[in-house]
Amino acid sequence: MDFLKDHSVQNELLLIFISVILGLFIGAEREYRNKSAGLRTFILVCFGSCLFTILSIKIGVKDPDRLAANIITGIGFLGAGVIFKGDNKIDGITTATTIWATASIGMAVGSGYVYLSLLGTFLVLLILSSLTYLQNFIDNNHKIREYKIVLNNFEDVKYFESELEKYHLKFFVVRQKFSQENITTTWILTGKHTNHNLFIQQLRNDERVFAYEF
C-alpha cells in the first residue's frame, strides 16, 4: 500500500512538472512578444489548473468535476484583467484567450491526459506564432484606419475624397466638425498598408492640411 501511495505521489509530481514546462513554453512566446501577461503568469496558470484538477479528483469523490468547473470561472476573471482599451481598438483579447487555453492544458495534465496537453500546447504555439504571418499579410492588404484631418476650407474635403480614390483607399465619413477657422473630418479608410503610407506623405506635405491624426 505504501508502494502504491508513493507511486501515486510520484505520478502527481510528474504531472505538475509537465504542467510547469508546458506553461513555460506558452509564457515564453508571450514574453517574447512583450504582452501584458508573460512567462510567470502562464506557468502559474497551467500549474494552478493542473493542481486544482488533481485535488478535485482526490477530494471530490462523488462529484470531481465540480471543483474543476470553477477553474474556468476563475480564469475568466483573470483573463478579463489583461483586456484593456487602446487608442482605436480593444487590446489583450488574444492574451486573455491564451490564458483560458493554457488553463485547459493544465486541466488536461492534471486529469492524466498528457498527450492531449502536448497536442494543445503545440496548437496554441502554432496559432500564436505561425498564424502571425497570415495576420500580417491580411493587415498589409486590408488595413483599416480612422483618420481625423483638419482642413482649411470646406471645398478641400471633396479634393481629398478624389485623392483617396487615386490611392485606391475606400472611405466613408464618420463625422464632421465645422468652425470659422477650419473643418475637421473623420474618415474610415480601407486599403493596402503601402497606400496608407503614400496618403500620409501627402497629408504631411499638403498646404491644405492644418493638422491630422490616425
Give the amino acid at 122: F
Q: How high is the pLDDT of residue 89?
A: 62
The whole-number pLDDT of residue 106 equals 93
Give the model confidence (pLDDT) of 118-138 as tens digits.
999 999 999 888 777 787 888
Judged on CB neighbours under 10 Å (0-12, 13-18, 19+), 4 is exposed
- Alpha-carbon span 36 to 38, nearest angstrom: 6
Numbered ranges of CATH 3.30.70.260 in the chain: 142-213
The CATH class given to the 142-213 domain equals: alpha beta
Phi and psi, residue 181, nearest 5°: -85, -40
Which residue in 169, 174, 171, 181 sits closest to 211, CA to CA?
181
Model confidence pTM above 0.85: no
Which segments of the chain have a pLDDT < 50? 2-5
| pLDDT at residue 56 in the model | 82
Q: What pLDDT shows up at residue 178?
A: 84
